[in-house]
Structure 1
Amino acid sequence: MRGGQGPVVAIDEAHANFHRMEGQYAPFAALLRADGYRVRAGTLAFDAGGLDGVDVLVIANAGATGERPTPPAFTEAEGAALEAWVRDGGRLLLIADHTPFGAAAEALAARFGVRMGTGYAFAMPDELNLTTTLVYPAEALGAHAILTGRSADERVTGVTAFTGQSLEGPAGATMLLRMPAGARESRDLPTLQALAGRLEQAGETGAGAAEAVEELSAPALPAQGLAFDHGRGRVVVLGEAGMLSAQLIRFPPESGQADRRFGMNAAPGNARFGLNILHWLTGLLP
């Protein structure tokens, strides 16, 4: 699939999307173009021409309006149009990150039988520490063509997610990324920060860690990546968007902090994962 003659991939930009084709998702768009996909911005509502001529629709972190409480990013008419389009053979990659993006996409996801945690998911390497960087080694990956690819060099051997939410799929969905054992989710960032503070205090006093975790979080849903058929179409849902970006955060020299990379430039398996998702959505993988 070379020469830019492949399927058309539209990256949604019509719904206050935080991740856009020329912004956070420019590296992802470049990856797809290098593989022959024709990538364009989606600037129209789904019920007003936004799905015309599109083979794969990518929605990444819609609803970055700053409005609280977070309203749905999509109208009922758009949701109905998109669900019908997928059911009739369309292909959808829906990505919604930590709050507020889960709440913005929650109603749309429900049309496909997906439940969203909507908060900040985290793992606990021990009883006093938490991390929102979730590493999925080979043994945490599901059994799916997206993960095995077409040959040994296309196999996904690991994926890293950078602060997202958890998911639960409909019956028959494959969990591409299984949440770590004991993973939890706090409802918002202030609650997560309060929990981190309580755990630090517990480390000093030797008590109260379990109570803080119970009070300020709930068990996470089982997955952070899902794949399933919907009618004649295909759907992949991810609970974290940064994994398909390639970002660099530079800190002032006086801060003493090292620059931080996250996304495909920090976890090489993520690029293979993203490309295989598109291969499956477009039928190159069974």
Structure 2
Amino acid sequence: MLLRNCAFILFVILPFLVFAQQQPDVDFAFNIAEPEYEKGEGPVLCIDSAHNNFHTLDGGFAPFARVLQHDGYVVKDFNYPFTETDQLKTCNVFVIVNPLHESNIGNWVLPNPSAFSKEEILSLNQWVKEGGALFLIADHMPFAGAASELGLSFGFRFRNGFATLEKDQDQPDLFTLENGRLLKSPVSGNEITSVTTFTGSAFTYPEEAIPVLVFKKGDFSLEPERAWQFDESTKTVGLGNHTHGAIMEYGSGKLAVFGEAAMFTAQTIQTPQGEVFKIGLNNTQLAPQNLQFLLTLMHWLD
């Protein structure tokens, strides 16, 4: 009961801060000692903005794009339906972050329909199968719900809730080799021994996928009717058989599926008292290895 009450306090306070004064930290300092590609000569990375995405190239994922541009990637906005196959073929890596159905714009309450048409899902699925690389990120409710049908087409089943570790609830979620929540994989282990996340969703994965960030017994998902509103009757689901991130080869292509977005970008949150907190890649104290994890993951994808 105490753990749940702590989680309730965290989830009630955070949305006020996040939605009131959350900003991308486009000036955060980072260093890539040896870029993977010469400037502008790397793969073309497209970031979806056609599905009411909470994070886009010009918004919350601008710092993500800046990092990858420094690593040599060509990053561009993609504002087309996935059925525009000629446009899709111009992308080597396709990034989808927190899509949303139009009925949920400013209305984060159930139901949360798919952000994508069945035709778009079929088209994107075929693109990956023929050699494309998809990076799908679906955060907490309602974004996990909006991405559910797309994820399911590849065998990933999202829980449309707020996933958290069993821990002190005033801290971010820490996945490490030591605590068994970060598994050794083609994108983790050796140099990368920890990854930090900041409240997202959980999902199950197909047998052929490789789990990277995993939940353990005692971790849980809170699944309310309305985002960020919790009480003692809120549905709570244990996450012992779920993951927070996984990778998979699919036909001739590849997928990386993750349930949290802030870990891959850099943001600041200013409290009403004027305090500024760094969330994501820019917080080298809380997330010291997230930048290297992002680069390693992208290099595996491309």
TM-score category (smaller protein): 0.7 to 0.9
C-alpha spacing 1:218/1:84, structure 2 compared with 1 (3 Å): same
* Higher percent of residues as helix: 1
Preserved CA contact (<8 Å) 2:199 2:260: yes
Distance 2:87 2:155 in 1: 23
TM-score (norm 1): 0.83
Give, in angstroms, the shift of residue 33 of structure 1.
Answer: 0.6
Amino acid at match of 1:142: L
**Pairing 1:3-152 to 2, within 5 Å after superposition:** 3-48=39-84, 49-63=86-100, 65-67=105-107, 68=109, 69-125=111-167, 130=169, 133-139=172-178, 140-148=181-189
For 2:258, the equivalent position in structure 1 comes to 238
Q: Deviations over 1:154-200 (max 9, x none)?
A: x22211111101111111211110114311111138687535xx5xx
Secondary structure of the structure 2 residue equivalent to 1:110: helix
C-alpha spacing 1:224/1:131, structure 2 compared with 1 (3 Å): farther
Distance 1:250 1:131 in 2: 17
C-alpha spacing 1:85/1:117, structure 2 compared with 1 (3 Å): same
Alignment partner for residue 243 of structure 2, among 223, 246, 255? Answer: 223
Secondary structure of the structure 2 residue equivalent to 1:243: helix
Distance 2:171 2:163 in 1: 6
Secondary structure of the structure 1 residue equivalent to 2:246: strand
C-alpha spacing 1:99/1:38, structure 2 compared with 1 (3 Å): same
Give, in angstroms, the shift of residue 27 of structure 1.
Answer: 0.9
Secondary structure of the structure 2 residue equivalent to 1:217: strand
Secondary structure of the structure 2 residue equivalent to 1:77: helix
Preserved CA contact (<8 Å) 1:114 1:169: yes
Q: Deviations over 1:37-72 (max 9, x none)?
A: 000011111111441210000000011623552221
Amino acid at match of 1:78: E
Alignment partner for residue 247 of structure 1, among 263, 267, 279? Answer: 267
For 2:281, the equivalent position in structure 1 comes to 264
Distance 2:170 2:242 in 1: 17
C-alpha spacing 1:222/1:108, structure 2 compared with 1 (3 Å): same
Say whether 1:278 aligns with 2:295: no
Q: Deviations over 1:96-136 (max 9, x none)?
A: 000000010000000000010110112222xxx64683111
For 1:202, the equivalent position in structure 2 comes to none
Task: Give structure 2 stretches of 5+ with no counterpart.
Answer: 1-36
Say whether 1:179 aligns with 2:215: yes
Distance 1:276 1:264 in 2: 14
Distance 1:190 1:71 in 2: 14
Preserved CA contact (<8 Å) 1:120 1:189: no
Distance 1:90 1:191 in 2: 33
For 1:207, the equivalent position in structure 2 comes to none
Structure 1's consecutive aligned runs of 4 or more residues displaced over 4 angstroms after TM superposition are: 129-132, 189-193
Distance 2:169 2:228 in 1: 9
Give, in angstroms, the shift of residue 20 of structure 1.
Answer: 0.7
Preserved CA contact (<8 Å) 1:122 1:132: no
Report how many residues are paired.
Answer: 254
Preserved CA contact (<8 Å) 2:148 2:157: yes
Distance 1:191 1:25 in 2: 22
For 2:200, the equivalent position in structure 1 comes to 164
